[in-house]
Amino acid sequence: MRSIYTGMTISTLLIVFTVPQAHAQPPASQIRNPFPYKPDEPVAKEMSLAKAASYLDGVAKFWMEKNSCGACHANFPYIMARPVLGNDADTLVAETRKFMEARQPKPNRFNFSSESVAIAFALTWDDARLGKKHQRTTKDALRRMWSLQKPTGKWSPLGCGETFPAETDTRYTMTLAVIAAGIASKKSTPSTAAQDGLTLIRRNFDKFPPTNPHARAMLLWASLFVDGLMTVDERKATIEKLLAAQGKDGGWSWYSLLESAPSPDTPNYVSDGYSTGFIVYVLRQAGVPADQAKIARGLGWLRTHQRVSGRWHTPADVSETEGGVGSRDLYAQNLGTAFAVLALSDETRP
């Protein structure tokens, strides 16, 4: 299993700039999405990670000012990607951590249990990135996460009911909890609550095996942090299946990760930023070398498909908004951009 601390150098923490309490936020009517959903946005002439950083900063700040949420949308991708892009990243992460530490349940807000997982994941990962022992706020977040776990092993989904798995798939939330627990175990002996919580997750995973390539990829990722989630043969089979889902253009399509996936040879196979970045990132974490032919083609796809705004496009249903914000489209674009950045930042590692 790869050391989690290798991963710490290429993926870390959560969301956005904290707006200090002393400064008034602009009225909601004046806050505008700086990068609205544009499927026909031109491809950039050359890739720019600086542009990617600017994009992630802008949309994350927008989401936080508008809806002030700590679960998914612009937040969760920011956990994963911003620190690898440099340019005051440590300052942004420190500011973000303060925001995460202050998050508390509030009346009339969606179920906090999923947000508790995102917070625990973020703080745990940040401590490991910095090589620190768990801070008190991290320990508190982990305790709260386990206290909100259901007897089924689940937490509520991260989001509000759309088709992307980080919004609707409770396995996604459980996977984040597994990774947080795996990281935490490197710093201290797991608590009784953590041991019991992991037992519930294992039982759930055994009872309800993954039913599509995306869920299997998530389980593969989690298995790199906690032993016993996959056998050697299961891991090998998952890697082979994910590689086989690659499209002719070198990318992966969201539809190729669903159970009713079309063949990569069909006309409706359209590669996208999230699927390509996510699969390349997870496979690289699982030990597939950068010069493996399909990984190399996937990285090539990412280098040539960034849009002029700095994002990597991922198709999204924008028929629904939240609080007047096109939050679904933000979520898909940010998740795709984050994993594209993570995959590309890991390119030079053997």
> What is residue 168's predicted lDDT score, i.e. its pLDDT?
62
CA distance 254 to 310: 20
Least confident of 161-165, 199-203, 263-267: 161-165
> What mean pLDDT comes out for the span 26-32?
49
Q: At what angle do helices 170-185 and 136-147 cross, to 10 degrees?
A: 140
User: Do residues 155 and 67 touch, judged by C-beta distance below 8 A?
Assistant: no
- Residue 104: is it exposed, middle or buried by C-beta count within 10 angstroms (0-12/13-18/19+)? exposed
Question: By three-state DSSP, how is residue 271 classified?
Answer: coil
> What mean pLDDT comes out for the span 207-220?
92
**Number of domains present in the structure of the chain:** 1
Residue range(s) defining the domain that contains residue 217: 4-345
Does a structural domain hold residue 271? yes
Does a structural domain hold residue 295? yes
Least confident of 60-64, 157-161, 214-218: 157-161
Mean of all residue pLDDT scores within the chain: 80
Confidence of residue 118 (pLDDT cuts 50, 70, 90): confident
CA–CA distance from 133 to each of 144, 184, 222, 259, 288 (Å)? 18, 9, 22, 41, 30
> What is residue 148's predicted lDDT score, i.e. its pLDDT?
94
Confidence of residue 219 (pLDDT cuts 50, 70, 90): very high
> What mean pLDDT comes out for the span 199-203?
97
> What is residue 137's predicted lDDT score, i.e. its pLDDT?
94
Residue with tokens 């305790």: 143
> What is residue 171's predicted lDDT score, i.e. its pLDDT?
87
> What mean pLDDT comes out for the span 66-74?
57
Cβ contacts of 151 within 8 Å, gap of 6 or more:
200
> What mean pLDDT comes out for the span 62-78?
63
> What is residue 88's predicted lDDT score, i.e. its pLDDT?
79
More confident residue, 235 or 88: 235
CATH of the domain at 137: 1.50.10
> What is residue 216's predicted lDDT score, i.e. its pLDDT?
93
User: Do residues 180 and 14 touch, judged by C-beta distance below 8 A?
Assistant: no
> What is residue 132's predicted lDDT score, i.e. its pLDDT?
81
More confident residue, 298 or 121: 298
130-141: pLDDT as tens digits: 888 888 999 999
Q: Is the pLDDT of residue 73 over 60?
A: no
More confident residue, 41 or 59: 41
Does a structural domain hold residue 153? yes
Q: Is the pLDDT of residue 237 over 90?
A: yes
Question: By three-state DSSP, how is residue 252 classified?
Answer: coil
Q: Is the pLDDT of residue 5 over 70?
A: no
CA distance 138 to 132: 11
User: Do residues 56 and 73 touch, judged by C-beta distance below 8 A?
Assistant: no
More confident residue, 203 or 316: 203
Residue with tokens 């936020």: 25
Does a structural domain hold residue 350? no
> What mean pLDDT comes out for the span 172-190?
91
Q: Is the pLDDT of residue 42 over 80?
A: yes
More confident residue, 184 or 350: 184
> What is residue 327's predicted lDDT score, i.e. its pLDDT?
55
CA–CA distance from 115 to each of 56, 71, 225, 331 (Å)? 20, 5, 21, 15
> What is residue 236's predicted lDDT score, i.e. its pLDDT?
97
> What is residue 207's predicted lDDT score, i.e. its pLDDT?
95
Q: Is the pLDDT of residue 74 over 60?
A: no
> What is residue 60's predicted lDDT score, i.e. its pLDDT?
73
